[in-house]
Chains A and B, each alone.
Chain A
Amino acid sequence: MTDKRLKQKFRRIVGADAFLDNPAATATYSYDSSLLTARPDFVLFPQTAEQVAQVVTLLFRERIPYLARGAGTNLSGGSIPLKGGAVISLTRMKRILSIEPENFCARVEPGVTNLEFQQALSEHGFFFAPDPASQRVSTIGGNVAENSGGPHCLKYGVTTNHILGLKLVTPDGNIIELGGRALDAAGYDVLGLLVGSEGTLGIATEISCRILQLPPAVRTLLAIYDATEDASQTVSEIIAAGILPATLEMMDNLVIRAVEEALHAGYPTDASAILIIEVDGIAEGLAETVRMIEDICRRNRVREVRVARDEREREQLWAGRRGAFGAVARLFPNYSVSDGTVPRNKLPEVLRQVSEIGKKYALEIGNVFHAGDGNLHPLIFFDVRDPQQTERVHRAGKEILEACVAAGGTISGEHGVGAEKIDAMHLVFGVNEIELMRRLKNALDPAGVCNPRKVLPESSSETIVPPAQSPRHSSEPASDGIPSRRTYLPKNIDEIASLPHYLRQSGKSIAAMGACTLFEYLPKDIQRWKKPHGIICSPLMRSIVEHDAANLTVTAEAWLTLRELQERLAAAGQFLPLDAPSEATLGGIVAAGLSGPRRHLYGSVRDLVLGLQLVTSDGKVLRAGGKTMKNVAGYDFGKLLIGSWGTLGIIVDVTFRLMPLPKASGALIASFQRVEDALEASKRILAGRLNPALLTLMNGHAAAALAMELAFSKPDREWSLILGAEGSDSAVQAQLNGMEQACRACSGDVSARVDVSRYYSLVDIVTRLCYPPAGQQWFLSLWLSMPCGSMSDGLREVEALTGEMTSLIVAHVAGGLICTHLSTAEEVTGGACRCIVDALGARLPQSTITVLKTHTASAESMPFIVGRSAPSSWLKAVKECFDPEGLMNPAISLW
């Protein structure tokens, strides 16, 4: 197509005023907030997903490179069109489509700025946890692409933990949906891969965000130090004391002086460091927390602690931090912001190195950063008109990153790899990881037109692929007979890595096995059908590689059981806030992507895994992620392993994010005649911001089982709410009182209180009841994950379908999960099982159903996980990238 005709076509799609190709216009899309520039050939401003899709289809067909752009605040050159082509500006797609408090969900178009979104949410009493420093301008689309962080990440996690779904225009111009309003989706976690892929795998045109309730109370402290080491030590000790602040920010002397000069914030200019510490939560517990923090500060020779007494004083304390950038920037012509992350206990050491690097290159460096999660942002000052100095800035920036990596950190906590940090990718990834990422990129963007030359180091094969499609070979399972099965018991990673290689030569398949806690529930026939040739089980690999208590992380080998891990962590006052059968192995839990009753408070395994190591079918050992909270280097391919059921690789070790054990905890059980009342009580508890750790609804059978195990008398009403709270003593009391009130107000009867001594047994039993309990023949056991707002519909449908059968129902109201186990005296056919699952799927279209156990006869024909997933072509592509010959756990297919 001629250039002119092509442009006409684009104009027709987006409108003449939404297509720019004059030089001055393209020049204004040649830059972002990084130091790079490159001009596009033209700029488009689509306003709908369909327009984006049409534009991309045409670009793909013509093999014209393109990239999507939001506010253009990227700090790593990610929105620079290095190969020219098209810039698709999404700034005109800025509607907030819905705010759904009942679903803890809001849907927005990508061009909405983070702050606009926050402001709209706050009117409903909610917020979106990611709050990057650029939030006033940066867009949600950009936040998704970069997996943005912000000060609040310390407590709440990064963007990927808060995205429920995307409407995505694929690199070849199709519109697909990933995820939805529910917390779980079927298939591989492609959504997790997309978040943080820096716009190289598609363009999000609609984003479903998980939103959280604003904390009922906030307290802010400012601590002034004479020595940076003391401030750093305070940070470590606060974490070690079991306090998890909402934010923990630090400023060094250069910044303090600049702030004082510009803003007169009342900072002493001779101070070496200042910490701003903010804690939030239940009001009753905060005074105690603040006292503890003050004590820690004093122990570490703080010069002065100021506690804000009201909102105005809080604003004053923050004013200095917020204005810090500006205050410093005004002192020098230009500045460059670095972005490295280190385990937080390495902060003092790395800060020292940064200062030495500054001296070495004769550059002024200031530090104002998120100390709580170890995310450094050294500001290097220079004058861009001095090319020599600018070159020194680049070299110093690189050395700072090297120092971060050497300290166990990574090359980017928030800003992305983009174009500027591609060279640094080799610092954190080996060739195998990079090759895998490249394979994923090629599989999902076969033409290489979607934001090319970003994230991944250049390889010789990176050229735009001509229109003739590259053939995709299908992956037939390796065997169909019933071969003899062998079990291998490798002792270490090397032995595991040598196995697939050995088996592969004869085309033999393999699967890893943990403690078989879930296998027990999986249909026996599935095991026979497409049975792997070899089973890998390494009960010897059960050591804790590293428990970095000050960093709140643990790395453990995959065959360690959850119970053993928790026991070890408890000794250090910490725990892994993940509820799963305690005999299950860590590898198994991650491979199954489990969640539990306390998900609403702590997240699921997906939110808690920071990194993992795996062996692929070709015997390569890959490492995904790391041990820092914030890590946006490269594709987050580790997410794909979570819930992959061993079909992509063998997980050999996992790094988790930990939490300090709560000081106090407690629970109560309330019973209700009608399910509506119980749900209404739940609603009030959530609306009252009582922040429950447990909010689980059970029917009579389940409650009876619970009562028996806890030696309680069985509640005489049909529905029971299990309510739990964790935190400080006073907070827990306040929460439980509030919950009790809410239950009584909804004609609930509080039948039991559970104190701290039996709280964890209660959690354990509730967790176990999510899996079919022993002692009864369950013919069908399902997990239904749905938007929280649909819980009452979900419960109604489950009840209606199960009818006369004995059913056990355990529903995590705030997590949107219903677990149900069915049993009947009559003969059940496989067809009936299938019918139940199909009917539930049809009536609850937004839900994902996991079939934990089903009737033998139906096993073969029935999918294992039913529900919304990425298109099967994408899921297959993912499988092929990891396991092209289909040798990993052929028993399960997730597409």
Chain B
Amino acid sequence: MVDSKQMYEELSDLSAEIARCGRCGFCQSVCPVYQVSADESGVARGRIMYAKGLVSGELGFSRRNEAFFSECLLCRACVDTCFSGVRTDEIVVAGRRTLTRIQGLSPVYRHIFERLLPDHHRFGRFIRLAGTMRRMVPDQIVGAMRMFGWLGRSMERSEQLLQEVPDEFLRERLSKRENARTTMKQAALFIGCGTNFMFPHVGEATVEVLEMLGYETLILEHGCCGLPAYAHGALQAAQVLARKNIEEFAKAPDSIIVTDCSSCASFLKEYPRILSMGEERGQIGASEAESFASRVRDLTELLGDRAHVFLSARTGHRHAQKGENMGSVPGIRVTFHDPCHLSRYQRQASLARDVLRSLPGIDFIEMKEADWCCGGAGAFAVEHADLSLKILERKTRNVKASMADTVITTCPSCLMQLRSGLRDSGSRIRAIHLVELVRERIGIAIESASL
């Protein structure tokens, strides 16, 4: 008989964590999946009890049971609400790793993780190819796009999305851009895959706003942060990416590493933990990983630190209060959607709000359940389309109920999800990245001040 502890070693390593679940069930109240499914298998307590059953040998793995681990957004809402603080997200990822180990990584995913994610250029060429070939989209690309939730729930939707793929990716655009004067501090830009391939204008805004903040931007040849691979349970692939990125950013040892994607930011900060896991732990020095992580900044942090800068940027509008129409700056009603990787993984929810409140002409409205996951969660949106849509419905309802005309977030995956929810429900509320709003508002303020 196979020892279940060995068979599910990733989970049995977490036995102590699993045992801490007191089964109070409070996770139900915050789990977006449970709120839709109303079934124990879709909530932290059920997932943990399943993991416990696996380790004890009482239960086994089957295709049907994959859902215990796959139907989780990793949003950490349960971790925050748990009295004992049980790290359900880690247990779920361990479950996915076990599954990957037992079933092996499919060739498609292997190709994506090992060939496409490390190299934005190659990845970009594949996406272009898909754009021109439409229905003859190679498997790899379908898979790759899924990883980021880019592929719609139907072929029709995927076509639509492929049409939305910008003519030029961010890296191409930035390569043509002239850098500002180099008397400034340096910030190495970590270009997230979502920003690069779907929202290049967000990346451009980031570069511009960084300049306003006094940073010259460095562009390096890094790859994906590795979060999609890690969340899929492909730890080794994530570690390879992490190591590659650490090495690449060692080229700019003194600059901070900035990204406009909160998911990337939070994962980059977790490199030390990621690299200390599994069989290949220790291949890169712990201190290197630590020093890398300590240089990482979510763009929101930079913006939050400089909230006062924006205030003074509102030349002539120093005493303006929130919600007031700033002279000729048209006022807008703004609400904020917390990406899980900003508010729970990085604990920076209040910073984003500080930024919003400091901008000219903004009436900030806190929406209900602002920190509830939008259901995007990368590949989740595609792999569990039905669930994702139902979770999104709730989010869209709350956005609309806030009566805001603009919803702001700081993660491309959320941005994509929010936009699709608003579009499908016929809403005219626009969803944009925080940095876009910053650029827009300051631009307007400066313009109106110079008039």
Chain A residues with CB under 8 Å of chain B are 20, 22-25, 27-34, 45, 71-73, 89, 91-92, 94, 111, 113, 115, 134, 136-137, 325-326, 329-330, 333-335, 383-385
Contacts and interface: CB of A to CB of B under 8 A. Distances in A.
Given A72-B25, A137-B28, A334 B20 contact: yes
Given A24-B65, A25-B41, A329-B83, A137 B26 contact: yes
A885 B49 CA distance: 52
| Max count, chain A CB within 10 A of own CB: residue among B29, B59, B85 | B29
B84 A330 contact: yes
Contact of B38 (A24, A29, A111): A111
Contacts of B84: 326, 329-330
13 contacts: A24-B62, A24-B68, A27-B53, A28-B41, A28-B49, A29-B40, A30-B49, A72-B40, A91-B39, A326-B85, A330-B84, A333-B16, A383-B19
B26 A136 contact: yes
B166 interface: no
A384 B19 contact: yes
B17 to A, nearest CB: 10
B22 A334 contact: yes
Contacts of B24: 33, 73, 134, 137
B46 interface: yes
A23 B59 contact: yes
A136 B22 contact: no
A117 to B, nearest CB: 13
A393 to B, nearest CB: 13
B22 A329 contact: yes
Contact of A333 (B20, B26, B60, B83): B20
Nearest to B25: A73
Interface in B22-63: 22-26, 28-29, 38-41, 46, 49-50, 53, 58-60, 62
B64 interface: yes
A385 B41 contact: no
| Max count, chain A CB within 10 A of own CB: residue among B24, B29, B68 | B24
| Closest A-B pairs by Cβ, 5 of them | A91-B38, A28-B40, A329-B83, A136-B29, A326-B83
B58 A27 contact: yes
A45 B41 CA distance: 13
Nearest to A333: B20
Given A28-B50, A73-B25, 19 more contacts: A24-B41, A24-B53, A24-B62, A27-B49, A27-B59, A28-B46, A33-B25, A72-B25, A111-B38, A115-B29, A134-B26, A137-B24, A137-B25, A137-B28, A325-B83, A330-B85, A334-B20, A334-B22, A383-B19
B49 A31 contact: yes
B38 A45 contact: yes
Contacts of A115: 29
A137 B26 CA distance: 6
B23 A31 contact: yes
Given A111-B38, A384-B19, A24 B59 contact: yes
B67 to A, nearest CB: 9
Interface of B: 16, 19-20, 22-26, 28-29, 38-41, 46, 49-50, 53, 58-60, 62, 64-65, 68, 82-85
A195 B220 CA distance: 67
A330 B19 CA distance: 13
Nearest to B64: A22
B50 A27 contact: yes
B316 to A, nearest CB: 33
Contacts of B59: 23-24, 27
Given A24-B53, A25-B41, A28-B49, A334 B26 contact: no
Contacts of A72: 25, 40
Contact of B39 (A27, A45, A137, A334): A45
A550 B212 CA distance: 69
A22 B23 CA distance: 21
B269 to A, nearest CB: 23
A519 to B, nearest CB: 52
A94 B40 contact: no
A80 to B, nearest CB: 11
A330 B68 CA distance: 25
A406 to B, nearest CB: 29
Given A33-B25, A326-B83, A385 B38 contact: no
Contacts of B64: 22, 24
A92 B68 CA distance: 19
Contacts of B39: 20, 28, 45, 89, 91
Contacts of A325: 83
Contacts of A27: 49-50, 53, 58-59
Contacts of B20: 333-334
Contacts of A334: 19-20, 22
Contacts of B58: 27
B300 to A, nearest CB: 25
Contacts of A333: 16, 19-20
B198 to A, nearest CB: 34
| Max count, chain A CB within 10 A of own CB: residue among B28, B53, B58 | B28
Nearest to B46: A28
Nearest to A35: B23
Contacts of A23: 59-60
A45 B46 CA distance: 16
Nearest to B34: A91
A99 B29 CA distance: 22
Contacts of B26: 134, 136-137
Contacts of A329: 22, 83-84
B244 to A, nearest CB: 37
B98 to A, nearest CB: 14
A92 B49 CA distance: 21
Nearest to B41: A28
A27 B41 CA distance: 9
Contacts of A94: 38
Given A45-B38, A45-B39, A325-B83, A385 B19 contact: yes
A96 to B, nearest CB: 15
A92 B85 CA distance: 27
A111 B19 CA distance: 28
A134 B81 CA distance: 12
A71 B28 contact: yes
B366 to A, nearest CB: 15
A24 B50 contact: yes
A825 B29 CA distance: 66
A383 B84 CA distance: 13
Contacts of B85: 326, 330
Contacts of B49: 27-28, 30-31
A589 to B, nearest CB: 42
Contact of B25 (A22, A71, A335, A383): A71
Nearest to B50: A24
Given A31-B23, A33-B22, A113 B46 contact: no
A17 to B, nearest CB: 10
Contacts of A113: 29
A115 B26 CA distance: 12
A137 B38 contact: no
A31 B25 CA distance: 10
A389 to B, nearest CB: 13
A30 B52 CA distance: 13
Nearest to A31: B23
A329 B58 CA distance: 27
A884 B16 CA distance: 57
B380 to A, nearest CB: 20
A24 B20 CA distance: 20
B50 A330 contact: no
B369 to A, nearest CB: 11
Contacts of B41: 24-25, 28
| Max count, chain A CB within 10 A of own CB: residue among B16, B23, B46, B68 | B23
A385 B56 CA distance: 13
Contacts of B50: 24, 27-28
A134 B83 CA distance: 12
Nearest to B20: A333
Nearest to B43: A28
